[in-house]
Every structure is written in structure tokens, then in C-alpha cells.
Amino acid sequence: MAGDQELKLLGLWGSPFVMRARIALNLKGVGYEFLEEVLGTKSELLLKSNPVYKKIPVLIHNGKPICESMIIVQYIDEVWATAGPSILPSDPYDRAIARFWAVYIDDKLFPSLRKIVLANADDEETAEAADQVIAGLQLLEEAFEKFSKGKDFFGGESVGCIDIALGCYVGWIKAAEKMAGVKLLDKEKLPLLMGWAERFCSADAVKELMPEVDKLVELGKVLRARLNAAATK
């Protein structure tokens, strides 16, 4: 724990949103207790801590819950401002741009990626979803070239807000490629993002948290089966 502070994180190992909070805590060097939820159920603590959305992740800091992954990341950056590197830029305009791209990633990239993982391999929507993911990644390739200014990450020399927002999906992008037989991260079309992804996955704050692709594939199959079962009821 960080001094006498009580810090708990509710989540699941394979959740990209939970991974965001864990990366931020690692970047700041903050100790915490990770409370693993059981897939398909919601603990009493989760329902009590996030009664509105009833979703993970939830960060509980001295008994006070904070919900929604990027809000948690920002909270961690502000509370432990003097510990580790800054996650969000100090300049107000740069902070606004970082938040914009974080929202874009969740609003445009994630829904299409989710379709690929949960749809059957021969589903007509899979090809369309793959095209949408690729188009989104191409925009992010351009954004990386602009914002990194030749450095390793979107945030410059260290992992920042956009890196966390996008990087949490790297494992799931690779899992989606395996599950659907599509190519999303193409080294020829996305050379900058491919290099960034390798650096991100091997960063000290990230490498121990990045799930194995095969395990994500198995989790994806479980989620797909649950969705299909629910649809037939």
C-alpha cells in the first residue's frame, strides 16, 4: 500500500479497461490490492461501489470508489502527481487533445474490435468491423507521428494517456486476428504503430500485465459462447 492509504482495485485479468488502471498505478509506483471478480457475476462490493453502471474497474481509495477506466487514470495522475511520470500533459490544450483521442479509441475502435471477437468467424459483420478497426488504426498512425515527435510513445519519452487508452487493446487486437483470421496490425501499413506496440508491451509498467494472446482467445471464445447462448433464449 501507499503509506497508510487503503487502495483496492476491482477487476478481471482480461479486461482492457482494468488494465488501464493497473498500468497507471504501476507508472506511479503505487501499491494496491487487486480484487479479481468472477466472470459472469458481480460481487456485492462491486454493486455497492458502482451502483450506476455495475461495471469494472472500480478503484476504491480510502473507502471512496472511483469508476470508469479513463477517469480512474486521470484520478491516479492527479492524486499521485509527484510520483512517477505525468500521464496527462500539463498544457491544457495538449490535455484536451489526449482526452479527445482516448474518447475516439473507445467510441470508434472498441465497438468494432468487440464485434470481431464476439461474432462468428463467418459472420458478415466481421469483414466490415475489421475494415473499421483498420481505418481507426490508420488515423492513430497519423496521430502518433504528429504527437510523438519522433519519440517512443504518444506521450513522448514515457507512457501517457493515449498510450494507455490504446495500449490496453493491443492484446485483444492480436486475439481478434487469431479468432477471425484477419490482419489488423500490418507492419507495412502501420509501421509506426507496430513499433509503438512493441515498445508499449515491453515497458516496465506494462509487460507483467499484458495477457497472453492465447488466453485472451480462450476468454473471447467463452464470451462469444455466452452471447450466443443468451441470444437463443
Domain boundaries, the chain: 7-79, 92-223
Please give the pLDDT value at position 188. 94
Q: Residues 185, 174: contact at Cβ < 8 Å?
A: yes
**What's the pTM?**
0.95
Please give the pLDDT value at position 1. 42
User: What is the CATH code for 7-79?
Assistant: 3.40.30.10
CATH for the 92-223 domain, from 2.102.10.10, 3.40.47.10, 1.20.1050.10, 1.10.10.10 = 1.20.1050.10
Q: How far apart are CA 29 and CA 80, in angstroms?
A: 9
Q: Residues 193, 144: contact at Cβ < 8 Å?
A: yes
Please give the pLDDT value at position 3. 42
What value, to the nearest 5°, has the Cα angle with vertex 35 and ends 84 and 99?
A: 45
Please give the pLDDT value at position 130. 94
Please give the pLDDT value at position 121. 61
Question: Could you list the mean pLDDT of each consecutive 10-residue stretch along the chain, which spans 233 residues?
Answer: 75 98 98 96 97 98 98 98 95 96 97 91 80 96 94 94 98 96 94 97 97 97 90 73
Please give the pLDDT value at position 169. 98
CA-nearest of 81, 54, 80 to 67 is 54
Please give the pLDDT value at position 155. 86
Please give the pLDDT value at position 227. 87
Please give the pLDDT value at position 168. 98
